[in-house]
Structure 1
Amino acid sequence: MIMKRLHILPTGTEIFLPVGSPLTEVDYESSHRLIPFGCRSGACGACVIEVLEGLGSLGEPDDDELDFLEDLGRTGGSHRLACQCRLQGDATIRVADTT
């Protein structure tokens, strides 16, 4: 099984997940709430992340995700909804401030 590294800021935590794993799997790899997940279906915005390295390692966002991110004011291409991402390669993300 090929594992890839997900570096999560601001905690500095590194998690290793199998290739193709949804980022929601981090909930099962740590006792800490590293990424706040709400609905897990891309409708609430609780899991907005900023991708600092490895944007292409999280799969391509679909039009619904891009539209929702725009509604949230997260344009520019470096933000994603973690619940919609699948880890394909190493990546570094920062949990976005949703306040």
Structure 2
Amino acid sequence: MTLKKLTILPTGTEILLPVGSPLTEVEYETPQRLIPFGCRSGSCGACVVQVLEGFSSLGEPDDDELDFLEDLGRTGGDHRLACQCRLRGDATVRVADDI
């Protein structure tokens, strides 16, 4: 099984997950609530993260996700809804509420 590293800021916590894992798996890897997941379906915006490194490692956002991020004022192409991402390579994200 190939593992990839997800680094979550501002804590700097590094989590290893199998390739293709949804980022919601973070909840099961640590007792800390590092990413505030809400609905897990891409409709609440609680889990917005800014991708600092490895944007392509999280898969491509679909049009619905991009539209919702725009509605939230998160434009510029470096934000994602963590619940919609699957880890395909190493990545570093910052929880948007901590920006």
Aligned to 2:65: 65
- Residues in 1 aligned to 2:34 and 2:17: alpha-carbon distance in whole angstroms: 14
- Residues in 2 aligned to 1:76 and 1:87: alpha-carbon distance in whole angstroms: 21
Segments of 5+ residues of structure 1 without an aligned counterpart are none
Task: Give the Å deviation of 1:97.
Answer: 1.2
- Residues in 2 aligned to 1:19 and 1:64: alpha-carbon distance in whole angstroms: 24
Deviations 1:27-71 (A, max 9, x none): 000000010000000000000000000000000000000000000
Aligned to 1:29: 29
Aligned to 1:40: 40
Identity %: 82
Secondary structure in 2 aligned to 1:41? coil
Secondary structure in 2 aligned to 1:52? strand
- Residues in 2 aligned to 1:33 and 1:61: alpha-carbon distance in whole angstroms: 24
Aligned to 1:84: 84
Matched, 1:50 2:82: no
Residue correspondences, number? 98
Task: Give the Å deviation of 1:93.
Answer: 0.3
RMSD: 0.8
- Residues in 2 aligned to 1:76 and 1:24: alpha-carbon distance in whole angstroms: 24
Segments of 5+ residues of structure 2 without an aligned counterpart are none
